[in-house]
Amino acid sequence: MLKIGVRAHDFGKMDPFSLAKAINNAGFTTSQLAIIKAITGVDSLADVNSSLLEQIKTAFAENNVEIGVFGCYVEIGLPDKSTRLSEVEKFITGLKYAKILGAKLVGTETTYYNISSMEGAVSREETYQNLKDSVLRMAEQAEYLGVDIGIETVADHTLYSAELTRRLLDEVNSKHLRVIFDPVNLILTHSDIDRQDEIYKKFIETVGDDVSALHVKDIVIEDGKKIWRNIGKGDINYKTIADWLIATGRSMPVLREHIKPDCAQLDRQAMKDLFVLS
């Protein structure tokens, strides 16, 4: 079953009970929780303790909001090994917190790849090898803890394509390495929007069986920049993706990102309509 949810920190930074209640009041039953961005008084993972984790777990359970994804976005493709391994340790800490909270998936992107400044100095292949080294270390801990890694493909990051994502999945070869599918993050230009169905079909064909969560948002591109819109009011066509999810009967969180709380009901209904949910 698809579970319609939301990125928690789009409702603001609050105490756990106020946050969980706000999400529930907006009609969402699952969430992506990035503690640093969402919980008052937390500026780093070092600020988190067992008491706070218990408060969060209790607050979300009492408000019937699942933590479908624990957000722990780190820079795991950096060229400097010492800095990169420090980021890996942050992610491993996130895996441990997720297990306590009952979250089955811990999400991260990779690292922005600035072609103009990095190409030549650091090759695409070198950044990929750095990424793979990081993910192998993360996967070892994920397997030990029984929690999944959700890695997100982003067109201008180290992990930038369906093919490279497939390669990473195959070379790491861990059942605890999964994919977060974010259609908008595969789009960079008007040309990409024109061929989005082709991009999405390729992604589904290549890594669809490994997808454990879907991010949903909508955009238009103006002056080379992505401008956020309500679901169904921009240029993103979710039909290919919705048809795939409905046909395969997949069960996963479907998470609205960049929501404006005062438009929550509008977006929630649009998502239910897209994915034919009652």
116: burial class by Cβ within 10 Å (0-12, 13-18, 19+)? exposed
Among the listed residues 6, 16, 80, 71, the one whose alpha carbon sits nearest the alpha carbon of residue 45: 71
> What is the spatial distance between Cα 34 and Cα 12, in angstroms, rounded to a whole number?
11
> What is the spatial distance between Cα 228 and Cα 277, in angstroms, rounded to a whole number?
24
At 253 the pLDDT is 97
At 122 the pLDDT is 72
At 82 the pLDDT is 97
Q: Helix crossing, 196-207 with 239-248: angle to 10°?
A: 30
Ranges of the chain whose pLDDT falls below 50: 116-117
Structural domain including 74 reads 2-274
pLDDT tens column, 102-146: 999 999 999 887 654 455 567 889 999 999 999 999 999 999 999
At 278 the pLDDT is 57
Which CATH number belongs to the domain containing residue 128 in this structure?
Answer: 3.20.20.150
Q: How many domains does the chain have?
A: 1
